[in-house]
Amino acid sequence: MASVTATTTTTTTNSTTLLSRTDAPLIRSSSISPSNRSSLLTFSSSPFSKPIPHSLVLSSQTPPLHKWRTRVSFFPAFLSRGKKDDPEALKTELLEAIAPLDRGAEATPEDQERVDQIARKLEAVNTIKEPLKSNFLNGKWELIYTTSRSILQSQRPKLLRPNGKIYQAINADTLRAQNMETWPFFNQVTANLAPLNSKRAAVQFDTFKIGGLIPIKAPGRARGELEITYLDDEMRLP
């Protein structure tokens, strides 16, 4: 996110996901993804059961896993007029671009291309070179944009989609992650993370919770990768 993780599966192909941090003092608002571009642990019709395609994820995060409050604030529009290599200006531009897109469900191909271009500029000015070792990664991330149809279920009637917030919690110290849907399904999935390098981790899902209550052991094939291409204290790609 075009991720969030914005949280919980992962795969990278042609989609974009954005995640933003729910506890950051300046946030607008989570999924995991494998190869090319990455997106957070993903949620699909059966919560988090499939890897998500190359996605751009915009997500915001809550404080380390023991706090679960959400703060939302808005960047003033004039900030987006800053330098093209200024991360804050690019983040503002990105948030303005996704604001009317309903987390990506209403995005046209032209919208997706515009968001992707801005995201790539933001990735180019990433200052966190080893995101898997950064304390910024820990916490609860909210998915705020993705191009992954498997996450948003945009092919379904609106009432049958995951209309509530979608979160991903990551604990880099214990190498654990959890994807959480809210209204109306409340599905969850937990996973182990195995670092492959300082930016990528293999993801092995272990337990799905249908409706947040009924645990189901994940099959061995329920795996993916997480690749973080941008990270700060407010936003994550994916």
How many structural domains does the chain have? 1
Residue 158's pLDDT band (cuts 50, 70, 90): confident
pLDDT digits (tens, 9 = 90+) for 115-133: 999 999 999 999 999 999 9
Residue 70 to residues 28, 94, 142, 165, Cα–Cα distance (Å): 11, 20, 9, 11
Asked which of 23-32, 73-82, 150-159, 222-231 is least confident by mean pLDDT, the reply is 23-32
Report the pLDDT value the prediction gives residue 83, as an integer from 0 to 100: 56
pTM to 2 decimal places = 0.71
Confirm whether 7 is domain-assigned: no
pLDDT digits (tens, 9 = 90+) for 16-44: 677 776 653 322 233 333 333 333 332 22
Whole-number mean pLDDT of the chain?
74
pLDDT digits (tens, 9 = 90+) for 99-113: 999 999 999 999 999
Report the pLDDT value the prediction gives residue 220, as an integer from 0 to 100: 92
Report the pLDDT value the prediction gives residue 159, as an integer from 0 to 100: 79
Residue 59's pLDDT band (cuts 50, 70, 90): low
Q: What does the alpha-carbon distance between residue 90 and residue 75 come to, in Å, rounded to a whole number? A: 11
Report the pLDDT value the prediction gives residue 6, as an integer from 0 to 100: 32
**Domain with 40 in it:** 17-237
Confirm whether 75 is domain-assigned: yes
Tokens of 66: 């023991």
Residue 152's pLDDT band (cuts 50, 70, 90): confident
pLDDT digits (tens, 9 = 90+) for 191-213: 999 999 999 999 999 999 999 89
Q: What does the alpha-carbon distance between residue 140 and residue 129 come to, in Å, rounded to a whole number? A: 21
Q: What does the alpha-carbon distance between residue 60 and residue 187 come to, in Å, rounded to a whole number? A: 20
Confirm whether 9 is domain-assigned: no
Confirm whether 12 is domain-assigned: no
Residue 12's pLDDT band (cuts 50, 70, 90): very low
pLDDT digits (tens, 9 = 90+) for 71-97: 333 334 344 445 578 999 999 999 999
